[in-house]
Structure 1
Amino acid sequence: MSISWLCSPPKAAGRPFLASSEGNHTVQLNNDIDEFLRYLSAERGYSVHTLRAYRTDLNQLAGFAGDRGVEASADLSLELLREWLWAATQAGLARATLARRSASARSFTAWLARSHDDSADPAARLRSPKPGRTLPRVITHTQMTDLLDLLAARASGGEALALRDLAIVELLYASALRVSELVGLDLPDVDLDRLTVRVTGKGAKERVVPFGVPAKRALVEYLRQARPALLAQAGAPPNSATAPNAVALLLGRTGRRLGVRGVYRLVAALLDAIGGTGPAGPHALRHTAATHLLDGGADLRAVQELLGHVSLGTTQIYTHVSAERLKASYGLAHPRA
């Protein structure tokens, strides 16, 4: 899809957001960005990763504006915002990055309009390029079986990290969790009797998702053997409620809560070992779980609820993945393909 809408600068400057004010404009704009991010964190419950993306986009906008003598929120205009996106296009940024930057700018100026009781919002008419649809990497059933068999063999020796790694992959695949949701789990969030886990997703929204018997077995062995050994690394007795991260479900080798990077490195290395189409991380297991569910006949809205998607359209990309897999199988198997 063309993004030619970015290729022509506006004919006339957009209306400034507010009347320019005196003072240190650079400090003022940075302060507005800081206040906006605090709002997103406290009032909207945005995750650290989302806030980091907003920070990156808005800092880049502030630098671009400052280079053009526009150093205050009061002087942001539609023309400047369009020039900013055009410059990013010329720099070769991906369509998805352009769409995210546009969305960040619109959210920021809309918040400014509300907080200043002013109806003028320079980004209200700022259009976003539609991100190109890229089908996610999906691991085949055979590859998943090989991966889980490999982890089970490693865990059979009872080594703490091997038991933990098996529990991680089983739970990611069984419940289609985001990696941030996985590492945020606490012990009370897991119900081994009901085979469910309570997760806090985007926007601090809670949902309860199921997992299967294999994931339960892996979790039970991890909790019985591995977690006490890892918790002891934090310098406290295994059953101590005062140990650092004592309620965290998943622990690192130091006995503290496992982080996103640790899970990413683990899963990326495992997926690289089994081969496939390019690099992938924990999100590939989420994609795979969703696709395998749809392949097996699961209802699209049930998968939407499992994934925690607000929009059904976000989930529908997995129907395209399933269709592509069907076409590939058809091409290999049908004599008239």
Structure 2
Amino acid sequence: MAGTAELRAGLPPALAESLDGWEEHLRLQRDLSAHTVRGYVSDVVSLLDHLARRQGATPADLDLATLRSWLAAGRTRGDSRSTTARRSASARSFTAYLRRSGQVAEDVGLRLASPKAHRTLPGVLGTEQARAVLEQAAQPVGEGEEPAETALRLRNVLVLELLYASGIRVGELVGLDVDDVDRGRRLLRVFGKGRKERSVPFGAPAAQALETWLTGGRPTLATPDSGPALLLGARGGRLDAREARRVVHTAVQAAPGTPDIGPHGLRHSAATHVLEGGADLRSVQELLGHASLATTQVYTHVTVERLRTVHAQAHPRA
């Protein structure tokens, strides 16, 4: 199957022009992250390719029947409910833009129904598992380690500590600058989805890892091109999110008995452990930067499920 770039290059001129305008709108007006924009655009390229195959050549040719047949084709290929829900949201964003920009007379996406995504229980570490991952990652290698290797190890410890301590997203983590850290009050200034700013606290172990990195790690990797980035890659540039994910997977796999999770799993773990420690749902919502409390409520399902598991294992009449 052709990729997004190939499909986009083959779109009729009028559809390609509308797509370009919408993408610019997402970047400049809605200020969405590059990752989110890529996802939206990929979905709508697929939709417009579907429209073109049905002999549609202009935005006015996009109707409800086309939207429905596009989603149905995805379900036939095996799209999950969550994928269908996401693709529907992308399409509705595009049709709303077409109407607001005067390219069509009606927003056909308003009549598009889509299944709600299942809220599955996210994979999380237990508190002891999280402690084991962090402690093992912090173990010194011993003599003979090169300065650059030491610097990368210290950086990896900080990646793990900050993700677990704060519950921030991996994109928010790699976007941190040195000045975004209030070391005295132990706060991170984070720019989340839609460039919304929030302050997130972190604890003493993460603060210690931060100081060690800033004094004994970052100076080793820093170059004139490093800029203000807090976390650096091996060549001195800003740490890439893919490398941060690799760091987390490697560290988790090195700890015996832990499920294979990435940065999002550490975020889930942090939220779950904070709730289990007695925090209220609103506080966790603010910590995670969720726009809706409903998004945060999945973590109550996690803690209830854990309670049921413990009850089944421990109660004599379970």
User: TM-score under structure 1 normalisation?
Assistant: 0.87
Whether 2:79 is the aligned partner of 1:88: answer: no
What code does the residue aligned with 1:172 have?
A: L
Deviations 1:17-66 (A, max 9, x none): xxxxxxx9711111111110111111111001100101110111111111
Deviations 1:261-287 (A, max 9, x none): 110111122223335676421000000
> Which structure 1 segments of 5+ residues have no match?
1-23, 235-242
Whether 2:130 is the aligned partner of 1:139: answer: no
Whether 2:273 is the aligned partner of 1:292: answer: yes
The aligned counterpart of 1:187 is 178
The correspondence of residues 156-305 of structure 1 with structure 2, limited to 5 A, is 159-231=150-222, 234=223, 243-274=224-255, 279-305=260-286
CA RMSD of aligned residues (A): 1.7
Cα shift at 1:329: 1.1
What code does the residue aligned with 2:155 have?
A: R
Q: Distance in 1 between matches of 2:309 and 2:133?
A: 23
Compare the two structures and name the one with the higher helix fraction: 2
Cα shift at 1:141: 1.1
Sequence identity (%): 49
Q: Distance in 1 between matches of 2:11 and 2:20?
A: 14
Q: Distance in 2 between matches of 1:50 and 1:176?
A: 19
- The answer to whether the Cα contact below 8 Å between 2:232 and 2:239 also exists between their aligned partners in 1 is yes
Whether 2:291 is the aligned partner of 1:327: answer: no
Deviations 1:188-228 (A, max 9, x none): 10011000000000011000010001000000000001000
The aligned counterpart of 1:63 is 49
Name segments (4+ residues, structure 1) moved above 3 Å: 154-158, 275-279
Question: Secondary structure, in 3 states, of the residue corresponding to 1:93?
Answer: coil
Classify 1:164/1:183 alpha carbon distance in 2 versus 1 (closer, same or farther; 3 Å).
Answer: same
User: TM-score under structure 2 normalisation?
Assistant: 0.92
What code does the residue aligned with 1:208 have?
A: S
Classify 1:90/1:187 alpha carbon distance in 2 versus 1 (closer, same or farther; 3 Å).
Answer: same
- The answer to whether the Cα contact below 8 Å between 1:37 and 1:51 also exists between their aligned partners in 2 is yes
Q: Distance in 2 between matches of 1:99 and 1:207?
A: 28
The aligned counterpart of 1:110 is 96
> Which structure 2 segments of 5+ residues have no match?
1-9
The aligned counterpart of 1:6 is none
Question: Secondary structure, in 3 states, of the residue corresponding to 2:200?
Answer: strand
